[in-house]
Amino acid sequence: MSETNKEMNKDEMKNMPPMNGKPNGKGAGRPPMPKAKKGTFGRLMKYVFNGHKYQLIVVAVCILLSACTSIAASASTQMIIDDVITPGIQVGKVLGFEAGMDSVWGDLMGIVTMMIVVFAFGIAASFTYQRIMAVVTQRTLMNFRNDMFNKMQTLPVKFFDTHAHGDIMSTYTNDTDAIRMLVGQSLPLIFQSSLTVCSLIIMMLKYSLWLALAVAAFVLIMLKVSGKVAGSSSKYMMAQQRALAAEEGFVEEMMEGQKVVKVFCHETQSKEDFDKINEELFEVSEKANRNANILMPILGNIGNIMYVSLALIGSILVYLEVSNVYLFGVDKLSIGIVVTFLGMSRQLSQTVAQISNQVAIIAMGLAGASRVFELIDEEPEQDEGYVTLVNAEKDANGNIVETEKHTGMWAWKHFHAADGTTTYTELKGDVQLENVDFGYTEEKLVLNDISLYAKPGQKIAFVGATGAGKTTITNLINRFYDIPDGKIRYDGININKIKKADLRRSLGVVLQEVNLFTGTVMDNIRYGCLDATDEECIAAAKLANAHSFITRLPEGYNTMLTGNGASLSQGQRQLISIARAAVADPPVMILDEATSSIDTRTEALVQDGMDNLMNGRTVFVIAHRLSTVRNSKAIMVLDHGRIIERGDHDQLIAKKGVYYQLYTGAFELE
């Protein structure tokens, strides 16, 4: 698919729908402002809980134990002061210092021992849940990536033509990372913090209603401030995510086109363009982090004011209690309760700050999840075909029958629902187009009333100016797009009835722009037929005239290729592409300007390899070099989506029309 996309010329691309609703060109494909959709959180939780139910129960128990441990620390302070130190002082006053110390040390060691055990449980619980959450988070992300990639393989070519590749890549990187932070960091922290807040409130109400009310007043102020600041931070965090996707898309584009950048000395302009995108990323990131960073100091200072206020109120209440003055039914307060309250208030303010600090991360994570679900929910390529391609052979009576073994003969298995019968049609490569109209958008047609036929073994050539519709015809034969009007028949069968995978398996494609994948030379040849043996791959390489140079590589067929085969010449890469098509042994070949980007000497070698490949096959050739199509059975001259001339080379030369002018150089294809 990607090769076909790259080969689609610029004029044809102009007729395609714009990326993300924007005109194609500068700024096209920039992802819209991320915004979480309704139901995103619930759907995200299904992914988190999928296969992790019992692990998450253990996590919940461990978080509960961890929260209780933090509360136990505050409670121990009150016990030490009121149950140990204060009574010890009283004993010391009556019986002496040593007696007081004996009383203090005995009780103190008991409390300390208890706290050591409690804290040990807390540490173990915290360690356990963090380890489990790391596994749950990474497996959740793995499931997301699997579902995204699996869905991506089902999407039509139109999706990739209308979406910036950098934006799609950002979904795999930035958006999944935002989900990682949400699932692995924010949700456990919020759950633990919420339990801690509830426990602190219960303890505060138990100790003193009036001090608890004072704390509640400050907490309301903190929540109000958090909502204001965190809301702004969330908005800019999501904008930062969008800008980061745009920057990644630009960098990817520059990496792919680095040779072009250098050839045209475009480095300075590229830097300026990148600076603009990077400046936008800086601005939104600065605003996002500025709002996020000021929240903690603000809440911290509110917490300090609360701490001082509680100390003052508590001191007054303790003084009144000592003076036997009770206002508004105030319960007895001890120094231990006031000190403990101060510790709990500090812990409460920090916990509220932690929760508030996660708002932006949650918003960004939900926005990322929403974008991931958008990809997963994309409409897959529709395929109503039911005619399949099967191995076949002829029985004693000369009838075509299906077989499990590979015989070199293929047939279309056609089930007829009307009478319940199944017929087999030998795959020969007879292709016909009847009155085909097509446009990438409804507003403008690219092809108008195209009719042609290619009998088995014939070579059909398409020539014409850029944007005439040559590549579009081959896209329609592959059913990368479906036609609104007209018919395309393959061996007499409407291709809409043929399953797309089976249809494409019967077609071989060699393009001008070659895509080689990371792997050995043998792996790249075998890409044409994954079941091919090494011997079949080598035979295909010999057929394509690639065997000679491959054997001279450092490790021959086991030579590793990276970076789209950057270590090979354009001609060598093209020969491997031809070998890849040859090993598939398709009855129909599509050659889309396969020799236009290589030198004349290499072209002869490549052309010879293609001639070997074309022998006995139906072939559609798109070429700018008219010398390569002279031996075609029929040559179609296209102009603005219409066939204006057709015939073989001699016939068209004799007409002295457009083809004659093109061939003699009266005017150029462009």
467-484 per-position pLDDT tens digit: 788 888 888 988 888 888
Closest by Cα among 632, 621, 620, 668 to 432: 620
256-288 per-position pLDDT tens digit: 777 667 766 777 888 888 888 888 888 888 777
Please report the pLDDT score of residue 8 as a whole number.
Answer: 45
351-390 as b/e, with b when 16 or more CB fall inside 10 Å?
Answer: bbbbbbbbbbbbbbbbbbbbbbbebeebeebebebebbbb
378-397 per-position pLDDT tens digit: 988 888 889 999 988 888 88
Please report the pLDDT score of residue 234 as a whole number.
Answer: 65
Confidence of residue 3 (pLDDT cuts 50, 70, 90): very low
Cα separation, 378 vs 443, whole angstroms? 24
- At residue 541, the 3 state secondary structure works out as helix
Encoded tokens for 111: 């409390």
530-573 per-position pLDDT tens digit: 888 999 999 888 888 888 889 999 899 999 988 778 888 888 88
Cα separation, 183 vs 134, whole angstroms? 9
Using a 10 angstrom Cβ sphere, with 0-12 exposed, 13-18 middle and 19 or more buried, the burial of residue 226 is: buried
- Paired strand residues for 393: 401
Lookup result for tokens 């250098």: 262
Q: Decide if pLDDT at 131 tops 70.
A: yes
464-496 as b/e, with b when 16 or more CB fall inside 10 Å?
Answer: bbebbbbbbbbbbbbbbbbbeebebbbbebebb
Lookup result for tokens 């795999």: 172
Encoded tokens for 349: 């303010």
Rounded mean pLDDT, 190-201? 85
- Paired strand residues for 444: 441
Cα separation, 20 vs 545, whole angstroms? 44
State the CB neighbour count (10 A cutoff) for residue 407.
12
Report H helices in 155-257: 157-161, 165-170, 176-181, 187-207, 209-256
Confidence of residue 489 (pLDDT cuts 50, 70, 90): very high
Please report the pLDDT score of residue 490 as a whole number.
Answer: 92
Please report the pLDDT score of residue 66 as a whole number.
Answer: 83
Closest by Cα among 474, 508, 505, 482 to 387: 505
152-164 per-position pLDDT tens digit: 988 888 888 778 7
Please report the pLDDT score of residue 9 as a whole number.
Answer: 47
| 37 touches 243 (CB < 8 A) | no
The edge-to-edge listing of strands for the beta sheet with 507-511 is 507-511, 588-592, 618-622, 459-464, 634-639, 642-647
Report the Cα–Cα distance between both ends of the chain, in Å, rounded: 26
Rounded mean pLDDT, 54-66? 90
Choose the most confident range, by mean pLDDT, from 18-22, 83-87, 244-248.
244-248
Instruction: Give 19's DSSP letter.
Output: G
Q: Decide if pLDDT at 29 tops 60.
A: no
Confidence of residue 488 (pLDDT cuts 50, 70, 90): very high
- Paired strand residues for 387: 498
Please report the pLDDT score of residue 37 as a whole number.
Answer: 67
31-51 as b/e, with b when 16 or more CB fall inside 10 Å?
Answer: beebebeeebbeebeebbeee
Q: Decide if pLDDT at 140 tops 90.
A: yes
Please report the pLDDT score of residue 376 as a whole number.
Answer: 92
294-341 per-position pLDDT tens digit: 777 888 788 888 888 888 887 777 777 666 655 554 556 777 777 777
State the CB neighbour count (10 A cutoff) for residue 232.
18
**Structural domains in the chain plus CATH codes:** 36-376 (1.20.1560.10), 388-426 (no CATH), 431-664 (3.40.50.300)
614-665 per-position pLDDT tens digit: 777 788 888 777 777 777 888 888 888 888 988 888 888 998 888 888 888 6
Mean pLDDT (the chain) is 79
Lookup result for tokens 């509110």: 302
Rounded mean pLDDT, 25-42? 57
For the chain, percent of residues with pLDDT exceeding 70 = 81
Bridge-based pairing state of the strands 618-622 and 588-592: parallel
| 438 touches 449 (CB < 8 A) | no
| Predicted model pTM | 0.71
| 321 touches 328 (CB < 8 A) | no
Confidence of residue 512 (pLDDT cuts 50, 70, 90): confident
> Nearest 5°: CA angle at 365, between 364 and 368?
85
Closest by Cα among 541, 584, 480, 381 to 7: 480
Closest by Cα among 198, 189, 201 to 59: 189
Cα separation, 564 vs 255, whole angstroms? 12
Rounded mean pLDDT, 210-219? 84
Please report the pLDDT score of residue 33 as a whole number.
Answer: 44
One-letter amino acid of 341: F
- At residue 175, the 3 state secondary structure works out as helix
Closest by Cα among 602, 648, 591 to 470: 591
Confidence of residue 595 (pLDDT cuts 50, 70, 90): low
Instruction: Give 441's DSSP letter.
Output: B
Q: What is the DSSP string of 594-617?
A: TTTTS-HHHHHHHHHHHHHHHTTS
Cα separation, 650 vs 356, whole angstroms? 79
